Structure 1
């Protein structure tokens, strides 16, 4: 295996300026711990103080219904149509996922009945990122999925922007209303996550908090995990393209660059058994980046120069092994025999089969959820789905004919473990039976 486009390190500065990743992570963790403690103790007043300082928003935190209606009216009809179309796809896919889980009952032994129920969480919170881009798609993916799962209370928070009349951009407010959010706050960062977790500004306390965010949002979710459920700890987004000699170099290059525009910490990989394709993609990508407008161009250039890798291997079996080792968030196959690749690949957040299935389709509109495991986490977990909002709870019922053997086995195991009280609860049922 060779790497024909190795990583290039970013330039170093002096010791005072060059913080190590560990020290940067420690600073984020300390800031999140301090702010969460302050907001939990000080409630809405503390959250509002942080929001005024960090978000720079002086308007209402809770977006009023009339402001949402006005925002919806301002969204252009063609954009509303696009959002509606994507929402229908995401809803239908989530409904199909929901149908794969069913409640059930089974008679394990004569008179011994057990089963499962599927119960949605009572309240979910969705974090919808702001920042450089206005993430309509994150609102679609998180709130729609919770609604299909049957969650009755779905709160959403999003960082306010000065150019939005209600703080939250019009298109995001339209999307949140369409998808079924019950309340929206114009608040971001750690203070936004805290509002969801602690039930501030009239929100119910969230049982589950979902949605991507920056390092501070992710750290706040990490520190709150256990007190609330979370979808995952998302790192920088990534994509890996596996491509053979049949792939078009320009298409491969643009698909890699498409992910690079997220920012300078975005890793992208091409894994191929064609040295000619590798060289062609390495030539094409800089031209694709140069054709972008700012700030997309600078963001993509930094990611490509710092983290892009083009990896050549001997054959497609080695391509599979390399893709499984990396376990990317998005795995895009641009190669012949798509059925073979679908059956052979094992570690990814979402799989895109064929040159037509660009990652952007999955990110925005095709249906499967775009909240996916990053940083190799696809080796042990999948992405956001209706399952995250559902609790699979079990029940059991014992008829008289099941008691003798069940009580005897329970008492024997309990006494062997030294748990005499457990054994006696079984004995009591046997005597009464």
Structure 2
């Protein structure tokens, strides 16, 4: 029978940037480039109604802000950060420098050097996403980044105390209470009071994503984030209430977050739809979650799990949750995703908040060609080479000469010729000609 929808999305996910957003972002970037702090303050006043004496928080301000956070929240931040640090340290340990002697006297090597300065953007907007502080700052610090600047916006004119605490405990070297395009531009370009960074990581709204896109090249970025996505693969034994709960947990991120169920059981699919309707009736974030579920939610019935996995690979969702009898089968069957969540005892929200893996993940089918934020994103894998044997240098020089002339690169060829001449006594007319003419 093939795949069949029993709930179809009312809208198609928009993957293009609104021209108005693009133009606004371009104008802000150009203004910050020319006018620095003055422009940053102007846009902060305009967009966030926020214009403190200094956007950078002093040590005493940070400590005062932390004192307003409950002891339980502080303890939870530290426990979540312990998990994230442990996983990041394991990632760093998996990345090795090496040197190999490919032939006698010829050494090739690889070093993984951390970026010097990084910016971490921690969104505010609808929610104080303090978990993004863990994901961006901690990961950078474990990678060895010397200096991390954290930017997070005020929320409705208020300081997000828990977010500031999370950024501090994650190891931020400087914390700025600044958001939006103006924060991205300030970090990327530098101003009188903010030093330019080399790389920016962290999710954000359409303006933040567009700013990162326009500034890519001036600085490196983690990825271009779109709306949060979740896809669940469920078999006939999956608990429909769990499926509905987990779909809506991600739909509440915003009004345009795709939530998709692919199941081998029509009964599970229809029960999930019924439960979702009931849950939304008293869900505090129903306005957002309900809009996403109505406009972008899908329920698809397939004939087999193999068909489910293949269809999920086409969707290439940010989060893929496996609610089947053999969830680890997905490790072999799935290729395109941001992160996998295996079994009913696991859920996407764990990854979002505290389990230890990173929640900055590819969206809009980018999982086809990249993974999410991890320690390696903050490292530059750089190579080096050294030839210490004269005969080896001469032999490689001969090879270089032939390879270069096959591409009509005469200058490259001559660098190889010179080594072959010096160490193997090869005759090359151009060498003698140049030396003779230069001596006259």
Short-chain TM bin: over 0.9
Equivalent pair of 1:209/1:229 in contact (CA under 8 Å): yes
Matched, 1:146 2:136: no
Unpaired stretches in structure 1, ≥5 consecutive residues: 11-19
Q: Distance in 2 between matches of 1:163 and 1:80?
A: 23
Matched, 1:40 2:33: yes
Number of aligned residues: 419
Matched, 1:429 2:419: yes
Matched, 1:92 2:92: no
Which residue number in structure 1 is paired with residue 349 of structure 2?
Answer: 360
Q: Structure 1 pair 383/425, CA: closer, same or farther in 2 (3 Å)?
A: same
Q: Distance in 2 between matches of 1:23 and 1:315?
A: 34
Which residue number in structure 2 is paired with residue 282 of structure 1?
Answer: 273
Which residue number in structure 2 is paired with residue 395 of structure 1?
Answer: 384
Matched, 1:175 2:166: yes
Q: Distance in 2 between matches of 1:108 and 1:24?
A: 48
Residue by residue over 1:120-144, the C-alpha shift from the partner in whole angstroms, topping out at 9 and shown as x without a partner, is 1110001100011000111110000
Give every structure 1 segment of 4 or more consecutive aligned residues whose post-TM-superposition deviation is greater than 2 Å. 20-24, 161-164, 200-204, 430-433
Residue aligned with 2:397, SS? helix
Which residue number in structure 1 is paired with residue 47 of structure 2?
Answer: 54
Equivalent pair of 2:184/2:208 in contact (CA under 8 Å): yes
1:85-124 alignment to 2 at 5 Å? 85-124=79-118
Equivalent pair of 1:273/1:312 in contact (CA under 8 Å): yes
Which residue number in structure 1 is paired with residue 10 of structure 2?
Answer: 8
Shift of 1:367: 0.5
Q: Which of 326, 333, 338 pairs up with 1:344?
A: 333
Deviates more, 1:238-247 or 1:197-206: 197-206
With the length of structure 2 as denominator, give the TM-score of the two structures: 0.93
Q: Structure 1 pair 240/41, CA: closer, same or farther in 2 (3 Å)?
A: same
Which residue number in structure 1 is paired with residue 19 of structure 2?
Answer: 26
Equivalent pair of 2:36/2:190 in contact (CA under 8 Å): no
Shift of 1:316: 0.7
Alpha-carbon RMSD across the aligned residues, in angstroms, is 1.5
Unpaired stretches in structure 2, ≥5 consecutive residues: 424-440
With the length of structure 1 as denominator, give the TM-score of the two structures: 0.94
Which residue number in structure 2 is paired with residue 15 of structure 1?
Answer: none
Q: Distance in 2 between matches of 1:206 and 1:337?
A: 45
Which residue number in structure 2 is paired with residue 80 of structure 1?
Answer: 74
Shift of 1:200: 2.3
Residue by residue over 1:172-227, the C-alpha shift from the partner in whole angstroms, topping out at 9 and shown as x without a partner, is 11111111101111111110101110122533211100100100100000000011
Q: Which of 302, 305, 325 pairs up with 2:314?
A: 325
Residue aligned with 1:384, SS? coil
Equivalent pair of 2:247/2:260 in contact (CA under 8 Å): yes
Which residue number in structure 2 is paired with residue 310 of structure 1?
Answer: 299
